[in-house]
Structure 1
């Protein structure tokens, strides 16, 4: 059943998995090779400490040191950590053209656009900060700046407060179900993301006043 759009004034994007493609297995393989260990051991160590890194509890040196210790690497710490930071940044830099075009179209239609991401400050500096496409976003908040990771509703409340918006005026899009639930707990509207076509269909059904230009190629 189609619903009337509930006064959406802003659209918030997750970064990894929505605005950018998720890091590829091939990149993780190269990272494991740089560490001199098997991919499975490296990936397990990478994700074990990622939440602490993303919320700023670990700086880059401590995080990559913990990853190398966790996977059993015997490679030189400083040089290997630097190589891993570079490869990690490359891995998160593959922007999704569909969601970026949608953000551009939303802004042209008068919507406020923002990014709410679990991301360490060093990742932001290397992947996002100086990119030309950032002009399509009014506001960015990352967990590494405020010490709060999604799905904690606090990060969503901080974003809406900073922008002077009611939570009910914001639509949030994320590829992780628990983050969608966290946004809804904070009073935002939220949709899960799998691919541009599916998102366009959900928008047309649930938020028909929100434009979908750019999400789907016309030709």
Structure 2
């Protein structure tokens, strides 16, 4: 079935999200490994993605772990450096779909404040036809509830939605809802899927 809308994840699909790489550069691999073993930083970020305060959550965590206080605060204070750079080919695919009249949505685990901050650096994030931001929805992927909310809001049948995400658990949950899915492993593979679905020509997807 030809998809009626295409849904992009953002982190590692449109913008690289590699906190470990940032910390390796800032404090070195050994110290980064020790910090991530001592502090559940990804769990902290999940709380933000569920709607928790961005600065408040990070700074509270920093105070709770004084040995890593300054490093943890970087998660907020240097956030754009954690979430960069743009994946240029994916952005071209997003714009090619919209230019072809295909509705394009974002479905992303993202805090409300961190998303607003990201938009100031990445204005293209405003270009989606619909935004499904977990911080506003108070639920994160791969919880089936977030996919149900998307279906209810957009009014499209699950089998008409084509979704890409870099995490297998998020893809599996969408597939269980009946969505068409693609596990993102690079923009070239995603481009091939969009061409095969009849949404873009090879030239448009280049």
TM-score, with structure 1 as normaliser:
0.79
Cross-structure match for 2:192: 201
Distance in 2, matches of 1:160 and 1:8, equals 14
What is the CA distance between 1:145 and its match in structure 2? 1.0
Cross-structure match for 1:117: 108
What is the CA distance between 1:161 and its match in structure 2? 1.9
Residues 35-63 of structure 1: CA deviation (Å, up to 9, x unaligned): xx921133342223222221124653123
Q: 1:144 to 1:160 in 2, by over 3 A?
A: same
Cross-structure match for 1:3: none
Q: CA RMSD in A?
A: 2.7
On the 8 A contact 2:110/2:135 being kept in 1, the answer is yes
Query: Structure 2 regions of 5+ residues with no counterpart?
Result: none
Counterpart pick for 1:11 among 6, 10, 22: 6
Cross-structure match for 1:43: 36
Q: How many pairs align?
A: 202
Distance in 1, matches of 2:204 and 2:55, equals 36
Cross-structure match for 1:155: 146
Cross-structure match for 1:140: 131
TM-score, with structure 2 as normaliser:
0.84
Distance in 2, matches of 1:158 and 1:148, equals 10
Q: 1:68 to 1:57 in 2, by over 3 A?
A: same
Structure (1 or 2) with the greater helix fraction: 2
